[in-house]
């Protein structure tokens, strides 16, 4: 599973979905989903915009979390 770490970055930078939309040049619906840690895919363009906005690498935006075996 891939975990989206945007909610933590937003809180850390005192930002919200509207800030992602305006400052990150990201579509509002996408910004809203990301702000909730939701989503099933992300484009390289959006990923790059997030890296620039937060001044971080991809590893601080996305995290691979192995699923527990049943």
Residue 38 structural domain: 2-64
Token readout for 60 is 């601080």
pLDDT band at 68 (very low <50, low <70, confident <90, very high): confident
Answer whether residue 37 is part of any domain.
yes
- For the domain that residue 25 is a member of, what is the CATH number? 1.10.260.40
Answer whether residue 70 is part of any domain.
no
Instruction: Count the domains in the chain.
Output: 1
pLDDT per position as a tens digit, 13-58: 999 999 999 999 999 999 999 999 998 899 999 999 999 999 999 9
List helix spans (H) across the chain: 6-12, 17-23, 28-35, 44-54
pLDDT band at 70 (very low <50, low <70, confident <90, very high): confident
Answer whether residue 50 is part of any domain.
yes
Answer whether residue 31 is part of any domain.
yes
Provide the whole-model pTM: 0.88
């Amino acid at each position: 599973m891939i975990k989206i770490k945007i909610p933590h970055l937003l809180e850390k930078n005192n930002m919200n979905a509207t800030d992602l939309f305006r400052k990150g040049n990201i579509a509002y619906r996408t910004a809203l989903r990301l702000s909730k840690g939701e989503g099933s895919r992300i484009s390289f363009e959006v990923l790059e915009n997030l890296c620039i906005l937060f001044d971080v690498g991809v590893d601080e935006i996305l995290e691979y979390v192995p699923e527990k075996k049943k």
